[in-house]
Amino acid sequence: MSKPEASTEKTFYHTIDKPGMAEFKDRGSKFIAYSYPVESADDFKKHLQELKKEHPKAVHHCFAYRIGTDGNNFRVSDDGEPSGSAGRPILGQIDSRQITNTAVIVVRYFGGTLLGVPGLINAYKTVTSLALQVIPVVQKQIEVCYRIQFDYTRMNDIMMVLKQYNCSIISQDMQLFCVINTGIPNNRVVEVVYKLKEMQGVDFVKS
């Protein structure tokens, strides 16, 4: 009798959980890299807008980010630098650390000397690597978000299930009818949904 196949579904991912910063200089040009944990493209845009206000005289604001656990949501920008000389090297450093939900923006002040494409690739790669080295990589569980609505009297039962299966509380609104937005670990969704279905007066939906 053959053994059941082990699940190949990923249960964890690696990311950063706080910002980092580093500087690199080459022939007068200054490159400042800022790394951020991000959950969405909108998250990233806020950081980019803040940096453009903070560094209005910088000639370039190049960046790369990767978001999500399937590896498909990423973006790179050379922001006026020669094609492939900034965004791709930045993304390469994010990927070399095998992290996601991470963005790096590199602000460049031009020093008067052209660095050429190899020099630019080296500068953007180096400063990104330095910015990612100053912050530890953390492991987080992959979660599926659910919205649970229930009567206040079910509070203890709901909380017990969420705690038992290591679910995270994203937000909660506790009134006569309670609403909790929770992140259920990817590998425990079936069990948690089964438990919730068994309870009277509990409505839930994937969010």
- Whether 66 and 133 have beta carbons less than 8 Å apart is answered as no
Question: Residue 41 has what DSSP assignment?
Answer: H
Give dist(CA 153, CA 138) in Å, integer. Answer: 37
As beta bridge partners, residue 179 has 149, 173
Domain total of the chain? 2
Instruction: Identify the pLDDT of residue 207.
Output: 85
Largest CA distance in the chain: 72
Average pLDDT of 3-11? 52
Give the model confidence (pLDDT) of 60-80 as tens digits. Answer: 999 999 999 888 899 999 999
Residues 97 and 37 in one domain: yes
Instruction: Identify the pLDDT of residue 24.
Output: 98
Q: How much is the mean pLDDT over the chain?
A: 92
Residues 34 and 131 in one domain: yes
Instruction: Report the amino acid identity of residue 70.
Output: D
Q: What is the CATH number of the domain that holds 128?
A: 3.30.230.30
Residue 2 within any structural domain of the chain: no
Residues 147 and 135 in one domain: no
pTM (predicted TM-score): 0.81
Residue 114 within any structural domain of the chain: yes
Residues 133 and 153 in one domain: no
pLDDT above 90 as % of the chain: 86
Residues 72 and 122 in one domain: yes
Residue linked to tokens 């095998």: 98
Sequence-ordered list of residues with C-beta below 8 angstroms from that of 65, at least 6 positions apart, any chain: 38, 41, 44, 74, 75, 91, 94, 102, 103, 104
Residue 149 pLDDT > 90: yes
Query: Pick from 96, 123, 139: which residue ends a domain?
Result: 139
Instruction: Identify the pLDDT of residue 9.
Output: 61
Sequence-ordered list of residues with C-beta below 8 angstroms from that of 172, at least 6 positions apart, any chain: 178, 179, 180, 181
Average pLDDT of 17-45? 96
Q: What is the CATH number of the domain that holds 167?
A: 3.30.70.60
Residue linked to tokens 């609403």: 179
Residues 92 and 104 in one domain: yes
Instruction: Identify the pLDDT of residue 205.
Output: 93
Range of the domain at 191: 142-206
Residues 147 and 192 in one domain: yes
Residues 103 and 47 in one domain: yes
Query: Pick from 123, 139, 155: which residue ends a domain?
Result: 139
As beta bridge partners, residue 16 has none
Which letter, b or e, does each residue of 27-41 get, where b requires 16 or more Cβ atoms within 10 Å of its Cβ?
eebbbbbbbbbbeee
Residue 1 pLDDT > 50: no
Give the model confidence (pLDDT) of 167-184 as tens digits. Answer: 999 999 988 789 999 999
